[in-house]
Structure 1
Amino acid sequence: MSVWYEMDDKQKTERKKKLYDILNHLGYSKVCCNQRIKIYDNASRCLERVSNRNWFVPVNVTVLGSRGEGMAVALGSDMDVLMLQPAVKCFETLSLTYKEENDRDVAIFELNFSDVPEGYAKLHLKTLKDASPYPYSRLVTRIKGALTSDGFLQNNQRIIESIENGGQTVRLEGWPTTHNMYGHINGPAQPLQYPLPCPEKYQQYLSIDYVAAFPCVYPSLLNDWFERVRGKSWPSLETSIKVKHSDLFVVPVGLAESDEEVLQWRISFTLAEILLVRSFHDAQIKAYALMKMILKHELKPICMNITSYQIKNVLFWTSEKRQNIQKIDFYELLLEVITFLKDCIEARQLQHYFIPSRNLMHVNISEEERSRLIAFLTKISWDPSYALQRCPLICNMCTLPTDEGLVFRNMVDELMAAFFAVAPEQFDEIEHLLQGAQSSKEYFDFFMKRVPAIVRKNNPYGYFHLILSKRDDDIDEILNEGCKKGYQELWIK
């Protein structure tokens, strides 16, 4: 019998209250998420300005993933950056009116759904402007090089110039660019380990995934979804309308080991999903954060093919099925999410939230892994605290005698967020000067001289309480002492 069921109501309330307070201290609250959303929306504008300064073919840049959702704190999450080429358009059905009247597009493709898995399409060329002026002439050349003889666009070549394999065309200006570490292409993303301004002996990196994409006009998908959710407690009508009118993309990746994988492009609902997460109530935010911890520390060691994207879809479905999501307790919601995930693994069936005919449990999970996952989820469905107490963040919040580890974590978070909270014009200038630093020490010293001073003037988005309350010498001491004690491993990852 679970310890949870041996407790009286007062003990249960006290345990939930303690976990609730821990999550607030760790930054998983509606208020903190909203502040981070504004910071990373600003980061999108900053990165777009830098990208279009460095590359001559303009792209639209958006920070996605946990950071775009407002859920990422410190260095616990990668930074997903969408690089969208708006001069290339993809249509479910191309109207003659659009084709004749729009002269801004370099290339137009039609979505082809013959012999492709659910959620994917092939891109068949309809229009390509050979006479496009510089710099779009280089884009045309890349598109031509990726076309098959019958006009389908392959997904294994980089069309967008600002996403290059291994940074081969990146100019090496100073210490940061010479210490970039490029990873192997992973699906649609070019991974990069970007060195952060840190005390010299304790170098840390931010993992960035640059994702190439083209706009995709496919209104029937979101129209069908909108009709399904109309009248639900969650998402609200206001959020549903925003989602219905959000932009879709195609990204260059096919379903692994399927026929014609190299010709398939996945349809991405990233902006729609971000809108949904941003609409979460406090209970949903806390349940989402806790499920990510359980995923990382308990489920992934059992089966690497269980993903955060599956967890997100489980939370979407669980929230939609609630009659009144606003009144649900976060612990009760967590229990429902765990039970729903267990049922999906048992049935080997998890419907994609926007394309229900697509099965997200169509992955390589062995029978042994499946049995172990079901057994573990059954165990914690009675009392999730068993799993949560084994997560380093929760465990150490309960046991550390002082709060210096939390101060270190929050300081690292504020310093990184501060860089992305400055105005795009200032960011452009600072980023350019940082790239010219000739050593790790010069890189760190310049960052500390410029960035904290900017946020101290007006505390953008109301997020930077620690930086405002500490001098630069104090910040330096917090970082050095925290790294000496290993908090960068304990509190960031």
Structure 2
Amino acid sequence: MEYTSTSIRASHTMDLLGYSREMIKIRQKYCAYFSETVDTPYGKSTEFYAGSKAEGLTAPFENDIDSVRVPSHIICTTEPRKHQHLLILLLDQYATAPGYTRLVHHNLRPELYEQNKEVMVNILGKHYLSSTAVKEAWKKANAGYEDIGIDGSVTHHAYTGNHQGPSLTSNFRLINMNLDIVNAFTCDCPELLEPWINRSRKHNWPPPNVVKEISLMEGHVVAIGNKSSGNEFLEWRICFTKAEIKLIQSLNDCQTKLLILLKMIAKQELKPLCREMTSYVMKNVVLWLSEMYPSNVFVNENLISLLKMALQFVKICLINNALPSFMIEERNLFADRVRREEKLAVCVKIDELQIEGPDIILRCKRVAEGMDKINTCPDDFYRYSSKRHMLEISHLEGIVYDIEAEKNHQQYAIRPESVLRLLKLTDNNPMAFFSILS
């Protein structure tokens, strides 16, 4: 493949900016501590990180935080006999698009019906759970969140009302970061994973041990229906969040950097033209490429060529109006979502990017600025890299300390506001932090 020299320089720069395999593995390790049991108005729930934070791809204050909250006493399944001790919601996928389902109450007691009838729809004697009504009820039940200030003061905030798909969004005032909380139900649905588990894989990725581990994981359903359906308000989306986290954690160094660069290009160049050019779409693109091509292709010497290949894959999917979900192949991520003028604009932009050759890396502003600093003042940049790594690890250790302190009813570690703001600066504007150090 072409552009070997630029690819190696870009990869090295990404290491210094906090995207090294070592740093990503450290984030993944610490993120495992962040799963916790929380009290909610509807009972005990488990909450865990999802998205780029759980995958280790972003630093603490780089991008928003995605969190999934799952009630412990509710299960969605097709086999109710296995879960008699829980509140059971039966999956009803009749006449729904792939990856979607309706939920029918199976063992609802009369008193629970009276308490929850505002979120249910009775159809031919069956009590269906409305995803639209449940999401509104969740929003009211979780009326806000507590923001702990540097001085220890607690301020109560309401949710902003911004809906990103099935999520509710809140904002932390100190660091001006959004927290997107997705309320979900556990879904015991091994039959839905069978096609993925048994799929023919020419190049043995993901490896058999990862496939086996994923086969034992639960799925989730989230409160968003198929926009093309007449029954959108009754439908729920099936997802395999934990499986996708495991898959991203199983990528090698080059594949991981490819995903990071592709997300940067999508955010900067493609999403302004079409809102469907999301990080989730780019994640599926990289997962498909990782399965389609042999592992010896995914080396850092090929990083720029692989980036161009991934963009071409996006263009082909747009032209065919079809990007299959990696986990549920029958679900088309582009179905009825991309307008003709958007498709044309994105394809034209991808053609422009392809013509740029190795200079395509300049579209990734953070990496391009880092490459320039390595050329002009390498010693200072290496010093910056060492400082930012230490600062991030110290912050992650502090979060773990806080979690353990809360469990043991001890005092939180109060970190100076200046440290938090400096860490956010390193994550969102590395060159500004670099200038301070210089």
Give % identity.
Answer: 24
1:298-318 CA-to-partner distances (Å, cap 9, x unmatched) read 111222221111111111111
Contact 2:391 2:423 in 1 (8 A): no
Instruction: Give the Cα–Cα distance (whole angstroms) in 1 for the partners of residues 358 and 46 of structure 2.
Output: 43
Secondary structure at the residue paired with 2:162?
coil
Q: Do 2:144 and 2:156's aligned partners in 1 also have CA atoms closer than 8 Å?
A: no
Deviations 1:240-262 (A, max 9, x none): 11112211111111122531111
Aligned residue number for residue 94 of structure 1: 79
Aligned 1:72-471 pairs, distance under 5 A: 72-91=58-77, 93-94=78-79, 97-98=81-82, 102-105=83-86, 107-129=87-109, 143-150=116-123, 151-158=127-134, 164-165=139-140, 167-168=142-143, 175-178=153-156, 182-196=160-174, 204-230=175-201, 232-256=203-227, 258-325=229-296, 328=299, 329-381=302-354, 383=356, 385-400=358-373, 402-403=380-381, 410=389, 413-414=392-393, 416-422=395-401, 424-428=403-407, 447-448=414-415
Contact map agreement 2:146 2:156 (CA 8 A) in 1 = no
* 1:383 to partner: Cα distance: 4.8
From 29, 38, 41, the counterpart of 2:29: 38
Question: For the aligned residues, what is the CA RMSD?
Answer: 3.4
User: Closer, same or farther in 2 for the Cα pair 1:278/1:491, shift >3 Å?
Assistant: farther
Q: Is the 8 A contact 2:422 2:433 kept in 1?
A: no
Count of aligned pairs: 419
Q: Which residue identity does 1:448 align to in structure 2? A: R
Aligned 8 A contact 1:180 1:193 in 2: no
The answer to which structure has the higher strand fraction is: 2
Deviation, 1:156, is 2.3
1:142–1:352 distance in 2 versus 1, CA, 3 Å = farther
In 2, the alpha carbon distance for the partners of 1:491 and 1:233 equals 42
Contact conserved, 2:285 with 2:313, CA < 8 A, in 1?
A: yes
Alignment TM-score, normalising by the size of structure 2: 0.84
How far apart, in 2, do the equivalents of 1:19 and 1:274 lie?
25
* CA gap 1:178/1:86 in 2 versus in 1, 3 angstroms: closer
Classify the secondary structure of the residue corresponding to 1:377.
Answer: helix
C-alpha displacement of 1:337: 1.4
CA deviation profile, 1:261-313 (whole Å, cap 9, x unmatched): 11001001111111110100111011001001101111112222211111111
Structure 1 alignment gaps of length 5 or more: 132-136, 197-203, 435-445, 450-474
1:16 to 2, 7, 28: 7
Output the amino acid matched with 1:73: A
Task: Give distance in 2, aligned partners of 1:315 and 1:255.
Answer: 24
Deviation at residue 26 of structure 1 after TM alignment:
1.8
- 1:61 matched to 2:47? The reply is yes
Q: Quote how far apart the aligned CAs of 1:395 are.
A: 2.7
- Give the CA deviation at 1:361: 1.3
TM-score, normalising length: structure 1: 0.75
* Paired residues of 1:64 and 1:81 also in contact (CA < 8 A): yes
- How many angstroms does 1:94 deviate by? 2.4
| Offset from partner CA, 1:45-87 (integer Å, 9 cap, x none) | 3xx3xx23x7682111211111111111242222111111131
